[in-house]
Structure 1
Amino acid sequence: MDISVVIPLYNEEESLPELTEWIRRVMNAHDFSYEIILVDDGSKDTSWKVIEELKLTHEQISGIRFRRNYGKSAALNVGFNAAQGDVVITMDADLQDSPDEIPELYNRIMNSDADLVSGWKQKRYDPLTKTIPTKLFNSVTRNMSGIYNLHDFNCGLKAYRKDVVKSIEVYGEMHRYIPVLAKWAGFTNIQEQIVKHYPRKYGVTKFGPGRFVKGFLDLLSIFFVGKFGKRPMHFFGTIGVLSFVVGFFITCYLIFEKLRSIADGTVYRNITDQPLFYLSLVAILIGTQLFLTGFIAELVSRNSSERNQYHIEKII
């Protein structure tokens, strides 16, 4: 199979018929073998009923429905697991991403060494309350990840080699940083393609202001896990040892000053009467705790067997 199109959706009943028909026209025009995987992220409208009706007339469509809303990352992760195509295309279900971009994205993957091609909505039709924070997060992500050639990490329209989606795990709000996940997994040839962005035709956006806080926290998680996930002792242990050493030397200094004052016959305050004593005590305790944290983290696998288990109601 040439292409798998993975589309996560939440309350998109109006756009689904138009979107799937648009994809079908593009695929037939270029003679692609394909599948469309629609992942219903616990929609409260009639989206699932629409998917069932589309399945009756469009054999390339398959649907996965969550019992409740888990989020876009969960929907993508399940869609990636189900995808069978040599190239996997992701796009949003709101008709803001154009299926006309699919042939070029497919050719970029198949005719070059690219592992991932990410869309860049150079001209956006979103309000400033969305575009300005997005630019800020893209800038921070570029500098933290070292992927300097991408302008829009969060663009829903992307193309992947099959090996990429089968090698990464998407959870939390990490769908925003899939190129970073791909890089940490060893897929370093990440390219960009300018794509068209259309105004939303139906409904309203499903993402609120809280996504920025969650997204930033997940970026820190990716950075930590990618750099220290296999060696947490290098992170916690290093900081712990430094803290312990600082506290130890402060304690030694206080003891030395006390002994010197006794030898000189001068009056000197008790060690416990000095603020430095409590600073050294805190440093030693924190250092010990961090070292033990790193040791325990080395014994516990970061990959929980239940982290990506979702309750799927139906598969058609």
Structure 2
Amino acid sequence: MITIIIPTYNEKDNLPIVVDAIFSVFNDNLLQGDIVIVDDNSPDGTGEIADELSIKNNKIKVLHRRRKEGLSSAIIQGFKYTGSNIIGVMDADLSHPPEMIPELIRPLLDGESEFVIASRYIRKEKIEKWPLSRKMISRGATILARPLTDVSDPMSGFFFLKRTVIDGIELSPIGYKIMLEIIVKGRYINIKEIPFTFKNRYKGESKLNWKEHLNYVQHLIKLYRYSVISSHQ
């Protein structure tokens, strides 16, 4: 069984489209899967849209949170909710193409890897319609994480893993880059990166701001400390 976790905040226009696309991919490829939507009390009515989708399809589960608590904690709550052996994480804004799902889960099903990442940087850069400033910030964040991992795109928000990678692991990320913490703390032997083209969000506004950049720096410091302590144990 495959579960895809989709954290949402103000994604009412995008959510029905991405959900339909995911189930089309499941059906076309004979995959058994469901979706867990974790909504942070979106003021635009995303939670209500999610409920309507779940009424129509019992393979959609919705977790409602009382306030905006952040993407990372939403994903962690989704991890705790599902019992699936394979778990994926995707954004709701259609920047992560659902048609990539079969390619991303194949190494998990075949036993080649326990952790598969959709990478924007594994070969040449594949990002659509980003201004130079955002590309520079993304590259800078990747460079800062280099002492922690040689993964080419540790900032990716599009990934799949086996449950065993996170079982028994305490995850407490600061900000929205949860995958980096899983890379540092997770239980796995092989990580596989697969290139994809990151598309600009379909509708709505980006949640990225200066506060999230600051959170990322604080998160990095925390992970550096963890890495040093772990290496001496």
Instruction: Give the structure-1-normalised TM-score.
Output: 0.68
Runs of 5+ consecutive residues of structure 2 not aligned to the other structure? none
Match of 1:297 in 2: none
Is residue 2:134 matched to residue 1:130?
yes
**CA distance in structure 2 between the partners assigned to 1:25 and 1:174 by the alignment:** 32
Cα 1:229/1:174, change in 2 over 3 Å: farther
Query: Contact 1:116–1:160 (CA<8 Å) still a contact in 2?
Result: yes
SS at match of 2:105: helix
Letter of the 2:190 partner, please give it: N
Letter of the 1:209 partner, please give it: W
Match of 1:238 in 2: none
Match of 1:154 in 2: 155
**CA distance in structure 2 between the partners assigned to 1:169 and 1:113 by the alignment:** 25
The residue correspondences of 1:194-273 to structure 2 (distance < 5 A) are 194-228=195-229
After TM superposition, give the deviation of residue 165 of structure 1 in Å. Answer: 3.2
Match of 2:5 in 1: 6
Query: Contact 1:42–1:70 (CA<8 Å) still a contact in 2?
Result: no
Match of 2:188 in 1: 187
Cα 1:208/1:63, change in 2 over 3 Å: same
Task: Give RMSD over aligned pairs.
Answer: 2.0
After TM superposition, give the deviation of residue 120 of structure 1 in Å. Answer: 1.0
The residue correspondences of 1:116-127 to structure 2 (distance < 5 A) are 116-121=115-120, 122-125=125-128, 126-127=130-131
Query: Contact 2:41–2:66 (CA<8 Å) still a contact in 1?
Result: yes
Quick check: 89-98 or 128-137, which moved more? 128-137
Instruction: Give the structure-2-normalised TM-score.
Output: 0.90
SS at match of 1:38: strand
Q: How many residues align?
A: 228
- Percent identity at matched positions? 24
**CA distance in structure 1 between the partners assigned to 2:23 and 2:186 by the alignment:** 32
Match of 1:285 in 2: none
SS at match of 2:192: strand
Cα 1:177/1:18, change in 2 over 3 Å: closer
Letter of the 1:131 partner, please give it: K
**CA distance in structure 2 between the partners assigned to 1:173 and 1:219 by the alignment:** 9
Query: Contact 1:164–1:187 (CA<8 Å) still a contact in 2?
Result: yes
More helix by share: 1
